[in-house]
Amino acid sequence: MRISEDTVPDHSSWSMEAVKRIVRSFGLSEEPFQEPVDEPLVIVPQKEPVLRAKRPAFPARCIVFSDTDNDVTSVRNTLRFAGILNENGELTGNLEEITILHTGDLIDKKNPDPSVVEYWQLLRQDALAKGWHVKLIVGNHEQEIWQKIKAGEKCGMKAKQARCVNDFIEDLDLFYVAGPVLFIHGYPTLEFLQTLLHFEEVTGKDLNCFNIDHYKKAVSSVNGIRQYAYVRENRRANYLLYDVANASRYYKKQGRAVGAVLAQLKIDIVVHGHRPQRSGVQVDYEFSKWIPNIRMIGNDTMVRHKGIGATVIKTASSGALDVIFVNAKTESNKLRRKLRQALSEPTASSNGSRLTGLEIAGIKSAAQG
């Protein structure tokens, strides 16, 4: 029951306030009645609580996808290979807490598929029911689709589908930091990292709060989002993230400064997508010559064409992070067994502290490309 002054007959001898008191006594709403609206085609993302001060520790186990571009078959193949999905396509019941990450471009900007959005939302819902987590980061494909929808285009979708995809994209984070690891779609620029450092120093908040305090507020206008939108042409001076056309040249020039800011942010590892690796293999210790002490991993293995691909990171009992690269070239029964054993081992005690130089040197790739 909903009530407003319009629903009270003119000849009633009761005052409106008296009626409202009766309504409140029964725990009913005083808001005017509204016609029910159609249910969305996809599930509304469930918002997770935001840490306001302390950076989250690195999860005991995580698997990271990048640039799947409308493809869920390769995602399922990879999750089955890792033992995270069973043969029926359901999340395995015998594994402890796992975090599934996607660093953006999960839908294709030329032909966005709402069913792919629905797949990731259902996966997130099923994972939360098991105490797992699915964290999704926005890519330039999602941002470009959002800009088109805001401009009145439906991108080949029905109106309701376009609204649902729009809401989904607006819920995505720009990046995620856990322990000493930064997950982001494209190459982190010096301007963006300096902005994060300033945010941390001024507010004292967890870096992830930047997503809500700044990025989500920018997702209100096309002009606002462009400073984070990996643009290639006509970049303005105030853009923080942009498409680094020649990454080698950029980090040769800015690498030392980038590494210094990352060190101040207590970040030792960067996992990104966006730049396709034609070999189908992750690129490891990218630009280490110019960004010393930082392990940068390019995780765009063109998985849609290769059929399988992800980076698995596990916290070892020593607190160091073990990295396993899954791709079409490392795929084997031996790697399958090793990966499933790593994911089923008892949870190690992890913490959000920064890795020391010795620990960085001790991090091993179980499967080098």
Give the pLDDT confidence of 256-284 residue by residue, as tens digits.
999 999 999 999 999 999 999 999 999 99
- Please indicate, yes or no, if residue 126 is contained in any of the structural domains: yes
- Please indicate, yes or no, if residue 322 is contained in any of the structural domains: yes
- Please indicate, yes or no, if residue 26 is contained in any of the structural domains: no
Q: How many other CB atoms are found less than 10 A from the CB of residue 17?
A: 8
- Which tens digits make up the pLDDT trace of 33-78? 344 344 455 555 555 555 567 899 999 999 999 999 999 999 999 9
- Please indicate, yes or no, if residue 11 is contained in any of the structural domains: no
Determine how β-strand 181-184 pairs with β-strand 269-272.
parallel
More confident residue, 1 or 274: 274
What is the average pLDDT score of the chain? Answer: 84
- The tally of domains found in the chain comes to 1
14 pLDDT above the threshold of 90: no
Position 272 scores a pLDDT of: 98
- Please indicate, yes or no, if residue 267 is contained in any of the structural domains: yes
305, 291 contact by CB (below 8 A): no
- Which tens digits make up the pLDDT trace of 79-124? 999 999 998 889 997 787 899 999 999 999 999 999 999 999 999 9
Mean pLDDT is highest, among 5-14, 18-27, 261-270, for 261-270
Position 53 scores a pLDDT of: 76
* Beta partners for residue 100, in sequence order: 63, 134
Compute CA distances 126 → 87, 208, 326, whole Å: 16, 24, 23
Query: 288 pLDDT band (50/70/90 cuts)?
Result: very high
- Please indicate, yes or no, if residue 83 is contained in any of the structural domains: yes
CATH, residue 252: 3.60.21.10
243, 143 contact by CB (below 8 A): no
- Please indicate, yes or no, if residue 128 is contained in any of the structural domains: yes
Q: What percent of the chain has pLDDT over 90?
A: 69
347 pLDDT above the threshold of 60: no
Range of the domain at 222: 53-362
- Please indicate, yes or no, if residue 67 is contained in any of the structural domains: yes
Q: Report the candidate in 249, 251, 139 with the shortest Cα–Cα distance to residue 193.
A: 251
60, 40 contact by CB (below 8 A): no
Q: What is the mean pLDDT of residues 4-19?
A: 42
